[in-house]
A and B are shown apart, each in its own frame.
Chain A
Amino acid sequence: MMRRRRRLDWSKFGLGTYFVIFLIFLYAPMILMAILSFQGQFGQLTFPFKGPLSLDWWRSLYDENVQPFHAADIRTAAKNSLYLSLTAGAIVAFLAFTLSMAFRWRWRFRSDAVGFYVIMLALMTPGYLLAVGTQLFWAKIGQDSGIWETALGANVIWGLPFGFLVMVAVWNRYDPRVEEAARDLGADQKRTFREITLPLVWTGIFGCFLFGFTLAWNDYDRTVLFQVASTDTLPLTIGGFTFTGAIRPDLYALGTATTLVSLFTIVILLGVAAVRLRFVGRGRVYKAEEELGVAEGLEGSVAPVGRAGG
């Protein structure tokens, strides 16, 4: 018995150490990048750190007067990114929700498998290819292929399967019998949906929105084909700097900033989830003594007719 316990601790400790190393491995690049963004005027793209510690590179992100004078481009790109991502997120949330509603009740039919595979196809299609195809398609139907028509669509396609999977998980946890109860008590379909269904799943929908937002916010492959200076997104800007060799600490600052925004969305999601999940559990907690005590309460409060006794 003692031996077993010691063994268990050892493996847990070993794996735990490995986990920490793993985390370092994952976070190191970003942390190093962040550190390097605080370099001084002669900062370079890699170590050693050339001080003094300075916020100048960060300042150059929004102040046009600070070299290397990218602020205007960055501001435009940030705006584009924001609008694009918000829109993508909203569309993903909407489509993931509606699709999952369609799948709720017909899960056992064969045609659903086809539908499901199509959704998964969206996940597996290489982003760059999809962009090419979209561009070709739009060109053929004779429309403009600006970023809003094309890249937006491709980004939504990328986010949709993730959102869909989230909603599937949400519906799995969901107890449809509360809908029956609501209808039993006098609520018609619309009211049931509004009062019962929606409030119980909106966290999932919000999660889809954040998924769509973040994936679009970070995307490069799906947007790069439509690169036009005025409609560039932040990742495209970063890509532009990188591939033209303009790698300076301001790039690192930009990268760190965009990363922070992404990480922030996780925090939001977790916060919302933590709050809501507290009472959407199906835990049935009951203790015999408490039951008995309170059962007597029931007995006492109803004026008994010919007291039958406990």
Chain B
Amino acid sequence: MSGSSGEGTPRLDVEELEQAEELVEQHLPKAEGALGVAEGPQRRGGWITALWAAPGFGFLGFYLIAPLVFIVLVSFWTYQVGAKSGFVTDWTVSNYTEVFQDRVYWDNMWSSFYRSLIAVAACLVFGFPIAYFLALKVNSLRNQIALFVLALAPFWTSSLTRSVAWTFPLMGREGALNQLLSKIGLSSIDDPLIEPLSETSVTLAMIQLYILFMVTPLFFTLSQVDRTALEAASDLGGNWWRTFREVILPQTMPGVVIGSIFVFVLTMGEYGTVRLVGGNAVSSVGTIVNSKVELAVQYPQGAASAVLLVLALIAGVFVITRFSNLREEL
């Protein structure tokens, strides 16, 4: 029964429309399938793909997989003074049991984990407005990119150098900041507000180093938010907070997750900066592994701690991804 005019409730004649639509879009999956397959050159050559992939995966296998596998292997082997490389290939779990019983190790692991989480949260809080500004407040694309590159440039420098520059001239006991704060009376040279060689100072350094890893994914996801959708939302009377929570935030989740993973992984695995800014007072798992390996040459134990670190990393990443159903398509 078609909707004739003037009778009953006004409505669209859906049947007609659907019929027309069906006619035009008939077998759309087929078309897509055909086009999807047809795009790009020959798809027969599975071996061509393999040829292209060979150098890369070969390199990855040799320089990434093999070392990692080896770490796992060594963690199960026995330490022996005087043996070649310091261990023999006798299987054992003693390394793990020793590590498990090592209170210091777990304390350090936990504080490292905790510190990374704080760094992630801080980077998120401080970095989000930056990404928001760049993506949604700056108007021309060219300006966006220019400012973004400006913000990104420090990332292209050595993290160690930046840590040096961060610590001594600026944040250290006699650094510019402390001197300034001392003059105001908030701090003093002998008892600085931000204790150097402390958790706090390391965390701050981490934020400075890695916040860009948070800003970048956020920037990319935020710039995909349709500005006209925002305008429509405000047209419909939504206040800013509402719009933010319901329109912007969900769309940014992939960026948040990626950024968090980046910052988390990078800060947990940190070595050089922690050593520099924290000295011997602060450890990361990187420094622990280092202490076992470089100083005591106890590779098996170092390997075991490393394996546990990686597991902790995976766990952390897992937790972060649970915060959103990340179905990301790159």
Contacts and interface: CB of A to CB of B under 8 A. Distances in A.
Interface residues of B, number: 84
Contacts of B330: 116, 165, 168
B57 interface: yes
B60 A160 contact: yes
Contacts of A165: 330
A176 B41 contact: yes
A228 interface: no
Interface string A185-220: 000010000000000000000000000001001111
B93 interface: no
Given A115-B53, A259-B158, 7 more contacts: A4-B234, A26-B154, A125-B269, A154-B63, A224-B271, A242-B164, A255-B165
Contacts of B150: 23
A34 B297 CA distance: 38
9 contacts: A26-B212, A98-B53, A98-B56, A132-B71, A133-B68, A137-B66, A179-B40, A220-B160, A259-B158
A22 to B, nearest CB: 6
Interface of A: 4, 11-12, 15-16, 18-19, 22-23, 25-30, 32-33, 36, 45-47, 91, 94-96, 98-99, 101-106, 115-116, 118-119, 121-130, 132-134, 136-137, 139-140, 153-154, 156-157, 160, 165, 168, 176-177, 179-180, 183, 189, 214, 217-221, 224-225, 235, 238-239, 242-243, 247, 251-252, 255, 258-259, 262-263, 265-266, 270
A239 B298 CA distance: 24
Contacts of A224: 271-272
The SS class assigned to the A binding surface is: helix
B161 interface: yes
Contact of B65 (A28, A118, A180): A118
B71 A255 contact: no
Contacts of B261: 124
Contact of B158 (A45, A103, A115, A218): A218
**Of listed B50, B52, B161, residue having the most chain A CB within 10 A:** B161
Interface stretch (B19-27, B101-109, B287-295): B287-295
B158 A219 contact: yes
A124 B133 contact: no
Contacts of B96: none
Nearest to B63: A153
Interface string B141-179: 000000101111110111111101110111010111001
Nearest to A239: B160
B157 A258 contact: yes
A157 B64 contact: yes
A9 B200 CA distance: 36
Nearest to B55: A98
A243 B164 CA distance: 10
Interface in B46-89: 49-50, 52-57, 59-60, 62-68, 70-71, 74, 84-85
A19 B130 contact: yes
B154 A136 contact: no
A129 B85 contact: no
B82 to A, nearest CB: 15
